[in-house]
C-alpha cells in the first residue's frame, strides 16, 4: 500500500518509473528490499513497487545513482544484486545464485567517529562483495560468502584495528600499529601452506656498536594468522630497524622481507610472495695441506645489509642462520637455505679460519683454512709433562669491545696431549692472552703479541696446584657451595666445593683474585657475608669463614 502511494506521488511529480525484471528468483526468497547505496555509509531502504509471479519478479523504481537489492530467504541468507544505477527504462537482470550473509561487531570507542571499515579478501579472486560500512556504534559487512575467509579492518584517526573471519568474526577487533595480508605461493602453485616468523637483530652496546655479527630476537607484538592455505594476515606494533619477516613452505624459501617494506604498504593491498625452491648448500673444509679438516665449526650467517662492494671498508652486518661441525672428511651440509645473501665462516682451533660469501645460486663451496700465526708449548708440573690441561685463548677487554668481527679476536683452544704439548692458532687480530690450567691445576695467563707472530714457542710452562682453601659456614644449611671468579678478569670460572668429614668445605681455586662465593639451595636463595673475598697465595691451606643469611 505504501509503495503504491509513493509510486503514485512520483508520477504526479512527473518522475517516471522504470521496471527491473528478474526471471530467476528462487522460491526460498521471502523478502526483497531495495537500498540506496553510498560506499562506506549505512544503506538506506528505498520504497519500491514489486510484482511477483513464480520465479519472475518485477520491481518498479525511479532512476537513481546506485542501489543494492537484497533477496532474503527465511533462514537469514540472501542473494545480492548491485551496486548498480537504476536504469531509465525497463531492464532485465540476472540474479547470481550465491547465498551470502552479513558480519557485524562492535566498534572500539576510539573508532566510533570517522571510522573507515574495509574487507580484505583471503583469496585472490575478485568480485564486488563483501562491502563494509559503519552502522551507529558497530561495523557491518554485507555480501560475505561463508567460504570466503577474510579480514575486517577498521581505521580511524591514525589508529588501526582488525579481526579475522573464519568463517565468522573470531572475537572482537584487535588493535595494532599495522596489518598486511600475505598471499604465498611456491613451485607447487598458489595456496601453499606457509610458516611465518618475525626477527630483529640485537644490536650490541654502544661500546661495541661496530660489531658485524649480531644475535637476533623475535619482534615483539607481532602476530600471524592463517586465513586459508597461502593467505596469512600479519599484524604488529612498532617496526624495529632492520627487522624482517621469514617466510617458508615445505618446498620453498625461506624468503626474507624487510618488515618496514611490508608494514609500510597499504593494508588494503595484499602482498603476493612467490618463494623460490629451497636449496641445500654443502662443501668441504680443508687445511692448508689440502686434507679435510674434521671437527671444524662451520657457521652460516645471513646478511641484513647489502653486500660490500670492492673497496668498501665497512663490512655488512649479519645474523646467525645455522651452524654445524664438519665431519671426518671435513664435509658439511646446510639444508633449507633461502634466497638471501649468506656468508659461511669456518673456524678450527689449530688450523685457522676461512670465510666465503655465497652467490644466490651457489650450492657447493670449498673453505681453505689458514692461520696468521700459531702458538705452541709444553705444560709441566713438578717438571713432569701434564696431559689434559685446558688451553684457552681469551681476548682482552679493550680488543673485545672494539672488535667488529669476534671470529677475528678468538684464538684456538685445546687440551695438552700425553706429552704435555699443545698447538693452537693465534687470533687473526692478535693480542689477548693464553689461559693455561684450571680445574685441579692453577692458572697461568700469558699475554700474546699484537700483531701475532707466525710461530710463538712458549717452551715449558710450569703450573702449580690450585689454591686450596677450607670454607666454614655459620650456620651450615648443607647446600652445594660454588665460587665464581676471578672477578674483573676475562674467562670467568665456576668451581664447586666438596664437603669434608669435619663439616667444612674444601675448594681449590685455580688462581688468585676476587672470588664470589654462593650457595645453591633447593629451598631458596641464601646469601653469604661477605659475598666475595680476595684470595691470594697466603690463603693456601687456610680457613675462610662466611655468615649465612
Distance (Å, rounded) from C-alpha 96 to C-alpha 356?
61
- Give, in order, the Cα–Cα distances in Å from 422 to each of 378, 379, 386, 426: 6, 8, 11, 13
Chain segment 338-348, per-residue pLDDT in tens:
888 999 999 99
Which pLDDT band, with edges at 50, 70 and 90, does 207 fall under? low
The pLDDT, as a whole number, for residue 313 is: 74
Least confidently predicted of 86-95, 206-215, 496-505, 535-544: 206-215
Q: Max alpha carbon distance in the chain (Å)?
A: 124
List alpha helices for 115-164, DSSP H: none
Chain segment 393-428, per-residue pLDDT in tens:
988 877 787 788 888 888 999 999 999 999 999 998
Burial class (CB in 10 A: 0-12, 13-18, 19+), 423: middle
Residues of the chain with CATH 2.60.40.10: 374-462
- Find, among 53, 46, 44, the residue nearest to 21 by Cα: 53
Chain segment 280-327, per-residue pLDDT in tens:
999 999 998 999 999 999 999 999 998 888 777 778 999 999 999 999
The pLDDT, as a whole number, for residue 126 is: 64
Domain 285-368 has CATH 2.60.40: yes
Higher pLDDT, 410 or 192: 410
Which pLDDT band, with edges at 50, 70 and 90, does 208 fall under? low
Burial code (b: 16+ CB inside 10 Å, e: under 16) for 21-55 equals ebeebeeebeebbbbbbeeeeebeebebbeeeeee
Higher pLDDT, 276 or 7: 276
- Our CA angle for 213, 219, 225, nearest 5°, is 135
Which pLDDT band, with edges at 50, 70 and 90, does 170 fall under? low
Contact status, residue 376 vs residue 457, Cβ threshold 8 Å: yes
- Find, among 97, 45, 26, 35, the residue nearest to 66 by Cα: 35
Q: In the predicted model, is pLDDT for residue 7 greater than 60?
A: no
Residue 456 pairs in a beta bridge with 375
Contact status, residue 99 vs residue 78, Cβ threshold 8 Å: yes
Looking at every residue in the chain, the average pLDDT score rounds to: 89
Domain 374-462 has CATH 3.40.50.720: no
Q: In the predicted model, is pLDDT for residue 539 greater than 90?
A: yes
The pLDDT, as a whole number, for residue 4 is: 44
Chain segment 65-115, per-residue pLDDT in tens:
899 999 999 999 999 999 999 998 999 999 999 999 999 999 988 887 888
Q: What is the mean pLDDT of residues 433-437?
A: 94
Which pLDDT band, with edges at 50, 70 and 90, does 50 fall under? very high
Which residue reads 593491498 in cell numbers?
Answer: 269
Cell representation of residue 189: 602453485
Higher pLDDT, 208 or 543: 543
- Give, in order, the Cα–Cα distances in Å from 220 to each of 105, 176, 322, 325: 27, 12, 22, 32
Q: In the predicted model, is pLDDT for residue 1 greater than 70?
A: no
Chain segment 367-386, per-residue pLDDT in tens:
999 989 999 999 999 889 99
Helix (H) or strand (E) holding 399: helix 397-402
Helix (H) or strand (E) holding 2: helix 2-12
Pairing verdict, β 178-186 and 174-176? unpaired
Which CATH topology does 467-548 take? Immunoglobulin-like (2.60.40)
The pLDDT, as a whole number, for residue 480 is: 93
Give the rounded percent of residues in the chain with a pLDDT score beyond 90.
63
Give the rounded percent of residues in the chain with a pLDDT score beyond 70.
95
Cell representation of residue 131: 562491502
Q: What is the mean pLDDT of residues 447-476?
A: 94
Cis (ω within 30 of 0) for the bond into 387? Answer: no
Task: Look at phi and psi of residue 388 and say left if phi exceeds 0, alpha if psi is from -120 to 50, else beta.
Answer: left
Cell representation of residue 232: 596469512
Would you tell me which CATH number, out of the four given (1.20.5, 3.30.420, 2.60.40, 1.10.10), belongs to the domain 2-99? Answer: 2.60.40
Which pLDDT band, with edges at 50, 70 and 90, does 5 fall under? very low
Amino acid at each position: 500500500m505504501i509503495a503504491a502511494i509513493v509510486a503514485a506521488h512520483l508520477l504526479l511529480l512527473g518522475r517516471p518509473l522504470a521496471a527491473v525484471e528478474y526471471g530467476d528468483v528462487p522460491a526460498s526468497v521471502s523478502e526483497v528490499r531495495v537500498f540506496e547505496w553510498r560506499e562506506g555509509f549505512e544503506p538506506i531502504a528505498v520504497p519500491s513497487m514489486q510484482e511477483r509471479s513464480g520465479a519472475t519478479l518485477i520491481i518498479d523504481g525511479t532512476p537513481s545513482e546506485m542501489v543494492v537489492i537484497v533477496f532474503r530467504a527465511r533462514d537469514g541468507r540472501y542473494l545480492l544484486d548491485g551496486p548498480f544505477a537504476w536504469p531509465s527504462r525497463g531492464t532485465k537482470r540476472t540474479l547470481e545464485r550465491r547465498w551470502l550473509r552479513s558480519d557485524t561487531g562492535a566498534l572500539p570507542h576510539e573508532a566510533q567517529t570517522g571510522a573507515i571499515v574495509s574487507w580484505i579478501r583471503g583469496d585472490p579472486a575478485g568480485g564486488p562483495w563483501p562491502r563494509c560500512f559503519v552502522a551507529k556504534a558497530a561495523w557491518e559487512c554485507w555480501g560475505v560468502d561463508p567460504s570466503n575467509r577474510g579480514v575486517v579492518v577498521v581505521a580511524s584517526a591514525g589508529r588501526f584495528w582488525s579481526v579475522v573471519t573464519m568463517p565468522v568474526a573470531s572475537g572482537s577487533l584487535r588493535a595494532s600499529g599495522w596489518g598486511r595480508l600475505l598471499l604465498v605461493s611456491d613451485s607447487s602453485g598458489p595456496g601453499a601452506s606457509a610458516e611465518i616468523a618475525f626477527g630483529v637483530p640485537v644490536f650490541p652496546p654502544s661500546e661495541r656498536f661496530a660489531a658485524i655479527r649480531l644475535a637476533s630476537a623475535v619482534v615483539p607484538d607481532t602476530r600471524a594468522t592463517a586465513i586459508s592455505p597461502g593467505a596469512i594476515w600479519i599484524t604488529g606494533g612498532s617496526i624495529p630497524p632492520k627487522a624482517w619477516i621469514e617466510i617458508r613452505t615445505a618446498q620453498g624459501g625461506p624468503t626474507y622481507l624487510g618488515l618496514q617494506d611490508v608494514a609500510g604498504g597499504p593494508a588494503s593491498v595484499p602482498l603476493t610472495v612467490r618463494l623460490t625452491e629451497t636449496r641445500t648448500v654443502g662443501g668441504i673444509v680443508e687445511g692448508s695441506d689440502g686434507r679435510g679438516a674434521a671437527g671444524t665449526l662451520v657457521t652460516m650467517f645471513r646478511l641484513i645489509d647489502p653486500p660490500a662492494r670492492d673497496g668498501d671498508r665497512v663490512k655488512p652486518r649479519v645474523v646467525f642462520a645455522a651452524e654445524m661441525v664438519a665431519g671426518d672428511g671435513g664435509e658439511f651440509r646446510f639444508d633449507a637455505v633461502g634466497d638471501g645473501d649468506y656468508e659461511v665462516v669456518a673456524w678450527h682451533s689449530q688450523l685457522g679460519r676461512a670465510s666465503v660469501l655465497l652467490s644466490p645460486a651457489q650450492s657447493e663451496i670449498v673453505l681453505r683454512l689458514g692461520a696468521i700465526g700459531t702458538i705452541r708449548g709444553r705444560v709441566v708440573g713438578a717438571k713432569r709433562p701434564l696431559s689434559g690441561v685446558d688451553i684457552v685463548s681469551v681476548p682482552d677487554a679493550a680488543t673485545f669491545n672494539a672488535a667488529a668481527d669476534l671470529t677475528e679476536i678468538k684464538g684456538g683452544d685445546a687440551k695438552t696431549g700425553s706429552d704435555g704439548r699443545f698447538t693452537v692458532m693465534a687470533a687473526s687480530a692478535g693480542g689477548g692472552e693464553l689461559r693455561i690450567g684450571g680445574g685441579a691445576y692453577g692458572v697461568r695467563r700469558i699475554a700474546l703479541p699484537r700483531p701475532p707472530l707466525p710461530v710463538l714457542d712458549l717452551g715449558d710452562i710450569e703450573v702449580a696446584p690450585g689454591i686450596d682453601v677450607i670454607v666454614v659456614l655459620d650456620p651450615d644449611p648443607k647446600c652445594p657451595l660454588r665460587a665464581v671468579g676471578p672477578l674483573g678478569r676475562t674467562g670467568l670460572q665456576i668451581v664447586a666445593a666438596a664437603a669434608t668429614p669435619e663439616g667444612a668445605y674444601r675448594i681449590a681455586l685455580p688462581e688468585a683474585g676476587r672470588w664470589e662465593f654462593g650457595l645453591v639451595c633447593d629451598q631458596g636463595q641464601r646469601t653469604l657475608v661477605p659475598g666475595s673475598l680476595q684470595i691470594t697465595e697466603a690463603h693456601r691451606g687456610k680457613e675462610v669463614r662466611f655468615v649465612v643469611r
